[in-house]
Structure formats: structure tokens, C-alpha cells
Amino acid sequence: MLIQLMAAAGAAEPAGENPYGLVPALQQGGIIAQSTFAILMIMSVFSFYVLFTKLYEQHRIMSQTRRVRASFWNLTNLKDGAAKLEKDSAYRQIVDDAIAAQEQHAKLTDSSIEAHDWTDAALGRSRALISSSLEGGGLPFLATVGATAPFIGLFGTVVGIYRALIKIGLAGQASIDAVAGPVGEALIMTALGLVVAVPAVLAYNWLQRRNKVIAEDLDGFVNDVQSYLSSSGNVRPVAAGKAAPARPAAAPARPGTPGGGSTPPKA
């Protein structure tokens, strides 16, 4: 199908217009050039698919972070707070695991296991699962594309140069007409390898940076949940937009003391 489309595109071009373009180069390069081109295009398409799907996933979690800061800690208990969170979300998973750990600890027969240690281990496992999900979902594929695409393009370059040398040997002289097609094919393959690899590397680094920000927010939320459980709900962060309790006003200084209105009498 790919070869037919390229042939149709080549037929649609006026005769004598750019005989050394992409389509003619692929047609002259044969199955090796066409296969290399197809592999690079598949890698490029999947790279952009991974980029957009991961961006959507990260945007959802960041939106949940803003909602958690705004309203989650205005709760009466963890179950009431969990009802405010989206199902199948990272924050809902953390809260559900904390509630489950709290209920399971009450059923333990070994009283030597502290509730703090039990819930801390449960939240650690929950946090590790979320991190694994963030690091997966195609990020290893982007790293692989960024590392291998230039070498796949280089393979096409080597084949193109090899074909140019064969034509020179058969012609007995290095004429431009003999080597322009294979050399052009080689340069095109080099450029395609870079065009596929560079966006993949940039996307990978950008997504990893966003994952780091998300991980820091999740770590903070896990610590807040742990503090809430350890204090029986007495320790909780102040919700965003809610004023912190005002400090009591300082008592006025007595006369005759530092900061008062008069100086102490001399002896």
C-alpha cells in the first residue's frame, strides 16, 4: 500500500520536475529504502501517539491536584473526602488504600505492629504502583525511538552510498547522473532518522519533567494522609483559599517593662 501511494504521488508530478525527490529516491532504492522509510514513519506515528496520550493522562492528574488542594481537606473523615475524588484516579487510589489499611490493622491479632508502620507500608505500595504507571505507558518506547532512529536512518544512508559506489564502478567514472540518485537517497535517510529521533527525545524529556512534578505532588499528599491518620484527623493541611487561623494578639506590655510606655524608676 505504501509503495502504491508513493508511485501514485510520483505519477501525479509533472514530468521532469525534481527527479531526485523523496518518492523517486524511494522507488530507486528498492525494498531496503522503502522498508527503512516505513519503519521510521511507524516509529514517528507511535511517538506522537504516546506524546498526546501521556499529556492527556498528566493533565488529568494535575487537574485532580488542583481540586484536592481546593476542597479535599474540608472533610469530616477520609471516606467523605474519597467521595469527592474521581473514581480510578491516583488520589482516589491513595485514599482508598489508606482506608483499607486502617481497617485491616484493626483486624490484626499481632499488637506489636504499629498502625503508623502498617499504613505507611500500604501507602508506599500504592505510591509505587502509581509511579510505575506514570513511568510506563509508552515512555520507554520514546526513549527507544530517540536512541535507535538515527541508526536506522544511518542504515539507509550506508545502503544508499553502497549503491552509489556500485554505479560508479559500473560506469567507470563518477558522473553526477550516476550517483545523484543513490547519494540523495542516503541523505534523505539520514534526515528522516533525525526527524524521527529529535521529537521523540524532546517529548521524553518533557514528559519526564512533568512526571517529576506530579510525583512531588503525590508524595506530599501521601504525607498529608499519613499525618491525618496518625493524629486521628487532628492534623490536616489548610485547603487552598481558606484562611489560616489567626494568631492571638500579643498582650500589651506593662508599664515599666521593655516595650512599655514608661521607664523603670532608678534605684
Domain map of the chain by residue range? 31-230
Q: Between vectors from CA 195 to CA 191 and to CA 196, what angle results, nearest 5°? A: 120
Q: Which helix (H) or strand (E) holds 9?
A: helix 2-12
Asked if 153 and 192 count as a contact pair (C-beta separation under 8 A), the reply is: yes
The rounded Cα 91 to chain-centroid distance in angstroms is 18
Residues 21, 24: Cα–Cα separation, whole Å: 6
- pLDDT score of 2: 41
Asked if 3 and 34 count as a contact pair (C-beta separation under 8 A), the reply is: yes
How is residue 70 annotated by DSSP?
I
Residues 196, 36: Cα–Cα separation, whole Å: 12
Model confidence at 101: pLDDT above 80: yes
Residues 25, 33: Cα–Cα separation, whole Å: 8
- Residue 34, exposed/middle/buried by CB under 10 A (0-12, 13-18, 19+)? middle
- Max Cα distance, the chain (Å): 119
The residue type found at 154 is: L
Asked if 181 and 20 count as a contact pair (C-beta separation under 8 A), the reply is: yes
pTM metric for this prediction: 0.72
Closest C-alpha among 94, 89, 98, 97 to residue 62: 89
- pLDDT score of 26: 67
Model confidence at 46: pLDDT above 90: yes
Handedness of CA 206, 212, 213, 215 (dihedral sign): positive
Which of 100-109, 197-206, 220-229, 253-262 has the lowest average pLDDT? 253-262
Q: Is 235 helix (H, G, I), strand (E, B) or coil?
A: coil
Higher pLDDT residue, 227 or 10?
227
Closest C-alpha among 20, 24, 31, 30 to residue 10: 24
Q: Between vectors from CA 30 to CA 20 and to CA 190, what angle results, nearest 5°? A: 60
Model confidence at 160: pLDDT above 80: no
pLDDT tens for 110-150 read 667 787 788 888 888 888 888 888 888 789 999 999 999 99
Asked if 162 and 7 count as a contact pair (C-beta separation under 8 A), the reply is: no
Average pLDDT over residues 219-225: 89
Ranges 39-43, 78-82, 87-91, most confident: 39-43
Residues 214, 255: Cα–Cα separation, whole Å: 55
- pLDDT score of 194: 92
Residues 217, 89: Cα–Cα separation, whole Å: 14
Average pLDDT over residues 71-97: 83
- pLDDT score of 24: 67
